[in-house]
Amino acid sequence: MTLLKARDISVTDGRDRLVQPLSLTLRPGRALTILGESGSGKSLLAQAILGTLPKGLHASGELHVDDVALDPARPRGNRALWGRLIAVLPQEPWLALDPLMRAGRQVEETHRMVAGSADARAATARDLSELGLSGAGARWPWQLSGGMAQRLAFAAARAGGAPITVADEPTKGLDADRRDDVLALLQRGLRDGGGLLTITHDLDLARGLGGDIIVIRDGCAIEQGEAAKVLADPSHPYTRRLIEADPARWPPRKPSVPGAALLRARDLVVSRGGRALTGPQDIDLHRGEVMGIQGPSGCGKSSLGNALLGLLPVAGSVWRDPSLPKVAFQKLWQDPVAAFPRRLRLGQGIDDLVALHRLDASEVAPLMARLALRSELLDRLPAEVSGGELQRLALLRALLLKPAFLFADEPTSRLDPVTQAETFDLLTGIARERDMAMMIVSHDASLLRASCDRVLRLPDQPPAR
Amino acid sequence: MSLRSDRIGWALLLAVIGFALLAPAFDQTGPLKQSLLKALAGPDAAAPFGYDHLGRSLFSRLAHALRLSLTIAFAATATAAVVGIGLGVLAAWRGGWIDRALGLVADSVLALPALLMVLMMGVILPGMGAAFWAGIAAVQWIEFFRLTRRACRAVMDGPAVEAARIQGFGPAWIFRRILWPEIGPVLRTAMAFGVAGAIAAIAALGFVSVGVPAPTPELGQMMVELLPSWREAPVAVAQPVAACFVLLLSLNLIAGGRA
Amino acid sequence: MRGLTGILAFRLAQAAGVALVVGVMSFLMIQAMPGDAAYRIAAARYGYDMVSSQAADAVRAELNLDAGALAQFGGWIADLLRFDLGRSVVSGEPVAHEIAHQLGATLHLSVVALLIALLIGPPLGVLAGLRAGGLLDRVLLVAAAGLRAMPQFLLGLVLIVALAVEAGLLPSAGHGRAAHVVLPALTLALGLAAGSARIARDLMAGIAASQHYAFARMKGLSDGQVLRHHGLRNIAAPLLTYLGLQFVFLAEGVVVVETIFGWPGIGHALIHAVFHRDVPMVQGTALVMGLGFVVLNALIDLAAGRIDPRGVTA
């Protein structure tokens, strides 16, 4: 028995084929996961099935949902599926909930208007209590925590009674523990005998869901099979690289030999809006040392680094080696696009930096080669460069100033796994070459374990009210 | 609005400015010389656009009226822009009580219509030209102030400015490379709307007879003077109306669909 | 984040700022006029026909005029704070009475204009925003650009010529019969309608492209259900806020339109007062316009806070 059968689905933009013909089948109680990096075409595939492709893109192929034949080339007909046969989980639930409608009503209206439920209120109360949300129904969406919003959106999407669930990147930008929440939610749907199609680049999620996997790259399915088998013994080299890129599999770090003292903080307390984010911390950092900072979002990781850089006022004392110039303490940002002037050509920014500090302009080219950056990137604006390249350009910008210390604030959290692995390889390699100390912020414990000499864990903070 | 309508706007504006600047060079009669015999007469060699109800050359009066409106409007908006951008950057940069005080002043003036400000200035200052300049600038600086402050605040708290500081760049570089490229396009739009608003205000008060006093030619005043004779000389009435419309249309096209 | 008290405190401060700006401007107007200061102030207070040298002397003593401009200014502002607006120089009537009399006519005109504008503008804007880039959207954009190039006095002129003089459908000027309100109200309304249509269009296009709107559709709701439950309410609060700011243009329009159409409201009176250098009347009218803006926007803040409770904590 199948819930959904798609044959030879392909997507074109009129000139190029963005997704090569691909077939898939959803069965009750069994997960199907499409695994790939951003730009691989995995989201386009999902949109072709749902009938939500952006303007200018066209799908073709055959689609059967619940024994109803649909034509992917005419997406208008797919509208009847939404909510009733296919529940679509939003990518970012806190943006998907209507900020001006109370939480419970957003589930209730699906029950009443989509499922035609006679007692929508009772059905909603049941849903909310099953998901541990009872009592939250009268709140506004922006009064919910991230995890609660996620569960509420799940309930609202599925209240129409659809047997099939489609989730596009459901763990994008989530901490590890929140990722587990999502996994539990998706598995709940499977247990009820529903079908599940998940689109993700998250190997942990794919492993947790089990079922079948299709690995997709450049619009082609390059490998498919049972999840356990594909993940344990991949046959395609790209799948292998994808799996190798998992921080849990990175080779452990050779410990560094600490050099002279560089930075010392005593009884350091970082606060935001008058509220202490961290307890008193003592931090010592020597040349060449790499220290990790781990903790859930909002716990003050970034603020701690900014305090050490002297960007924030602090309680306690911070000593930085006074023989070094101020610019010897540098930083990498989580969102590389935001860290560059939006309308300034990248090359102009580098030229200005060279002129400001009277640097040797001939150092730029070899350093770019070391960072695997092509010189034509300098003619572009930040938005015209990929995230990985831009983060390496940010590194170039910092390295030109001969830093003794680099604070890297979640430098790869917006990058794909393979790019993340490459970036970290480069980052730790260069730190060792230049005897540069680093402080790396991440919420990924295995990443920090593999790339740091020691890790400082910051405790969770109650959310601000 | 497409790029094309933006170009049409510039072409129209330059044509109007060109007429205002060049026409007096070809004109022997001047805007004030009356010859009642020629009242409402059609065009001749001395007055290519015909004559008004007092027999004055419409060609000459139109050119001088446009000169007056354009000069006052550009001066007022330029003053407002310089003051508003300067204070906006100051407020965003320093924050604290300076920001709050400037914000309150801006919000207080915001509640008062520009025409009212001009009318009050007209009682205080000796000439209506100065009153228009001061009154319009006193209201328009708020728009530039608010736009600049908002754009600067958004950018100032961002990582790009933090990065520039960590790399040792000073305020001048941050303004030139980060802030100005962000706010420039928005302010160009605001400037076009500002000039348009000023021109409309000058004409409106001229039309209700409390603007630039006669006999100095002014668009709104010309319209109201010619209005009683609109049946005898519709072309004469249409001239200041069309000039005003084209000028405002060009500025609105330059400003584009954005507000 | 601003609480209810924060909103009220801000609007109170704004009202004080408005009063101060108007007070300063009026004081400067008095100073700029020819003649003896005490006599002028006495005249401003009691009317020219009531003023005598005794009254001027009383003012001189009371305001301590020999003490200099600063003390004079203090006295002027103190009168203002006691809501003592003085008397009209022209009619001799208390300014407050005159304005109370004219305000009714202005409110009548404004409310009719606002109703017409709201019936035309936002519905068209919502329709255009739902199909951004569509035919209606493009037509509206061109129409709005044309309308913006047409200042209100010109629009009024065109309407008078077309509907009153040529077609003879409506009276061009006057006050008293119901038909008299149509042309001035329409003149005021068209500009407001164009502005509110454009804002409603931008807001609707933004909401229709938002993730929560897409999610509501994906939940299985129909287009009408999504618009009713997740569209209209979401554009209401920012649209109201925009309309509040437009009050200043309404006030400006009232000045011009009332004068052109001979409508006996405060705008008409303002032009009259300026013409006769009747400073107390100018001050009174300016205060009513400025404070009217503040009060209306305070009410709108409260209404918008009920629709969109984010950031408002009672």
Distance from CA of C306 to the nearest CA of B (A): 23
Tell me if B193 sits within 8 A of B257, measured CB to CB. no
H helices present in A343-386, as ranges: 346-356, 364-370
Asked if residue B181 lies in contact with residue A343, where contact means CB atoms within 8 angstroms, the answer is yes
Across the interface, of C220, C230, C307, the residue whose CB is closest to A98 is: C230
State phi, psi for A271 to the nearest 5 degrees: -130, 155
The H or E element containing residue A185 is: helix A176-191
| Chain A residue numbers touching B159 (CB-CB < 8 A) | 333, 335, 338-339
Query: What gap in Å lies between CA B69 and CA B132, rounded to an integer?
Result: 10
B130 touches chain C (CB under 8 A): no
Q: Is A338 exposed, middle or buried (0-12, 13-18, 19+ CB in 10 A)?
A: middle
pLDDT at position A460: 63
Q: Are strands A195-200 and A220-226 parallel, antiparallel or unpaired?
A: unpaired
Q: How far is CA C247 from the centre of its chain?
A: 4
Strand pairing report for A164-168 and A86-89: parallel
Asked if A175 contacts A204 with a C-beta cutoff of 8 angstroms, the reply is: no
Kind of pairing, strands A17-26 and A4-12? Answer: antiparallel
- Residues A332 and A395 sit within 8 Å (Cβ to Cβ): yes
**Residue A407 contacts B, CB cutoff 8 Å:** no
**What residue has token string 């100073």?**
C31
B-chain residues within 8 Å CB-CB of A344? 177-178, 181
In this structure, are residues B135 and B73 in contact, taking their beta carbons and an 8 Å threshold? no
Alpha helices in chain B (DSSP H): 3-22, 58-94, 96-110, 114-124, 128-156, 159-166, 171-173, 180-207, 219-226, 234-255
pLDDT, tens digit, 9 for 90 and up, residues A94-126: 888 998 899 999 999 999 888 888 888 888 988
List, in order of start, the domains of chain A with CATH numbers: 4-244 (3.40.50.300), 249-457 (3.40.50.300)
**Does B164 reach chain A within 8 Å, measured CB to CB?**
yes
Q: Check CB contact under 8 Å for A99 and C221.
A: no
Report pLDDT digits (tens) over A361-386. 898 999 999 888 888 889 999 988 88
Confidence (pTM): 0.81
Per-residue pLDDT, B78? 95
Least trusted range by pLDDT, from A333-337, B43-47, C155-159 = B43-47
At A132 the pLDDT is 84
**DSSP state letters, A239-308:** HHHHHHTSGGGSPPPPPP---SEEEEEEEEE-EETTEE-S--EEEEEETT-EEEEE--TTSSHHHHHHHH
Q: What is the pLDDT of residue C64?
A: 56
Residue from B12, B100, B107, B112 to probe the interface with C (highest C Cβ count within 10 Å) = B112
Q: Is the Cβ–Cβ distance between A66 and A3 less than 8 Å?
A: yes
Q: Which residues contact A209 (CB under 8 A, 6 or more apart)?
A: A31, A33, A183, A186, A187, A190, A196, A198, A227
Residues A141, A94 contacting (CB under 8 angstroms): yes
The residue of chain B nearest to residue A409, with distances taken between CA atoms, is B159
pLDDT tens per residue, range A426-445: 899 999 888 999 999 988 88
Q: Which residue carries 């080299």 as its tokens? A: A237
Three-state SS for chain C is: CCCHHHHHHHHHHHHHHHHHHHHHHHHHHHHHCCCCHHHHHHHHHHCCCCCCHHHHHHHHHHHCHHHCHHHHHHHHHHHHHCCCCCECCCCCCEHHHHHHHHHHHHHHHHHHHHHHHHHHHHHHHHHHHHCCCCHHHHHHHHHHHHHHCCCHHHHHHHHHHHHHHHCCCCCCCCCCCHHHHHHHHHHHHHHHHHHHHHHHHHHHHHHHCCHHHHHHHHCCCCHHHHHHHHHHHHHHHHHHHHHHHHHHHHHHHHHHHHHHHCCCCHHHHHHHHHHCCCHHHHHHHHHHHHHHHHHHHHHHHHHHHHHCCCCCCC
Those residues of chain A whose CB sits closer than 8 Å to some CB in chain C are 50, 52, 82-84, 88, 90-92, 95-101, 109-110, 113-114, 140, 142, 153, 156-157, 159-160, 162
Instruction: For residue B162, give the amino acid letter.
Output: E
Question: Phi and psi at residue B156, in whole multiples of 5°?
Answer: -60, -35
A381 forms bridges with which residues in the sheet?
Answer: none
Contacts of B185 (CB under 8 A, 6+ apart): none
C39/A309: higher pLDDT: A309
Contact (CB<8Å) B167/A309: no
Distances (CA, A) of C281 to A217, A278, B207, C30, C266: 76, 62, 22, 12, 10
Q: For residue A392, is pLDDT > 80?
A: yes
Phi-psi region of A225 (alpha: psi -120 to 50; beta: other; left: phi over 0): left
Rg of chain A, C-alpha, whole Å: 25
Test B166 with A309 for CB contact under 8 angstroms.
Answer: yes
DSSP-based helix, strand, coil % in chain A, nearest 5:
40, 25, 35
Task: Assign C119 a pLDDT band (cuts: 50, 70, 90).
Answer: very high
B169/A356 CB distance under 8 A? yes
Question: What is d(CA C305, CA C311) in angstroms, rounded to the nearest whole number?
Answer: 8
Q: Which pLDDT tens digit goes with each residue over B166-205?
A: 999 998 999 899 988 888 888 888 898 899 889 988 988 8
- How far does A181 lie from chain C, in Å, by closest CA? 21
Domains of chain C: which residue ranges?
A: 95-307
pLDDT tens digit sequence for A279-326:
788 889 999 899 999 877 667 788 888 888 888 877 888 888 888 898
C238-242 average pLDDT score: 90
**pLDDT at residue C149, as a whole number:** 80
Shortest Cα–Cα distance, A394 to chain B (Å):
9
Give the confidence band of C1 by pLDDT, cuts at 50, 70, 90: very low
- Does the structure show a pLDDT above 60 at B154? yes
Number of Cβ within a 10 Å radius of residue C18: 24
The answer to whether the CB atoms of A90 and C211 lie below 8 A apart is yes
C285, closest residue in chain B (CA to CA): B116
Q: What's the pLDDT tens digit per position in A233-277?
A: 889 999 998 888 888 888 888 888 888 888 898 888 887 767 777
> Which residue in chain B is spatially nearest to A333 when comparing CA positions?
B159
- Judge whether A342 and A381 are in contact, CB under 8 Å: yes
Say whether B181 and A342 touch across the interface (CB within 8 A).
yes
Give the C window 196-255 contacts with A, CB below 8 Å.
210-212, 214-222, 225, 229-230, 233-234
Write down the pLDDT at residue A457: 86
Mutate to test the interface with B, among A324, A340, A410 (most CBs of B within 10 A): A340
Task: Identify the CATH assignment for C95-307 out of 1.10.3720.10, 2.40.30.10, 3.40.50.880, 1.10.760.10.
Answer: 1.10.3720.10
Q: Say what the ipTM of the complex is.
A: 0.81
Q: Which one of B105, B109, B195, B208 would you mutate to disrupt binding with C, by most C Cβ within 10 Å of its Cβ?
A: B208
**Residue A463, pLDDT above cutoff 60:** no
What CA–CA distance (Å, rounded) separates A26 from A5? 6
Q: Give the HSE-up count for residue A359: Cα atoms under 13 Å, Cβ half-sphere.
A: 22
User: Of A4-13, A330-339, B228-237, C126-135, which range is least confident?
Assistant: B228-237
Q: Which of C169, C245, C242 is nearest to C200 (CA)?
A: C242
Selected for mutation to probe chain A from C131, C210, C215 (highest A CB count within 10 Å) is: C215
CB contact under 8 A, A340 and B173: no
Those of residues 230-249 in B touching chain C at CB distance below 8 A are: 230, 241, 244-245, 248-249
Compare all CA atoms of chain C with the CA of A96 and give the residue at the minimum distance.
Answer: C212
Q: Name which of B123, B249, B259 is nearest C29 (Cβ-Cβ).
A: B123
Contact A386, A423 (CB under 8 A): no
pLDDT at A438: 93
- Residue A122's CB is within 10 A of a number of other CB atoms, namely 12
Burial class (CB in 10 A: 0-12, 13-18, 19+), B48: middle
Q: How confident is the model at residue A462 (pLDDT cuts 50, 70, 90)?
A: very low
- Report the 10 Å Cβ neighbour count for B232: 12
User: Is the pLDDT assigned to residue B1 strictly greater than 50?
Assistant: no
* Residue among B74, B214, B92 nearest B132 (CA): B74
- Interchain contact C118–B (C-beta under 8 A): no
* pLDDT at position C34: 66
Closest-CA residue of chain B to C283: B120
pLDDT, mean of residues B64-84: 93
Query: Is the previous residue joined to B215 through a cis bond, with omega within 30 degrees of 0?
Result: yes
What span, in angstroms and rounded, lies between the C-alpha atoms of A110 and A120? 8
- Tell me which of B94-98, C38-42, C78-82 is least confident: C38-42
pLDDT above 90: residue C58: no
Give the pLDDT score at B144: 93
Question: CA-CA distance, B118 to A277, in Å (whole number)?
Answer: 53
pLDDT (0 to 100) of residue C230: 92
Q: Are strands A329-332 and A315-320 parallel, antiparallel or unpaired?
A: unpaired
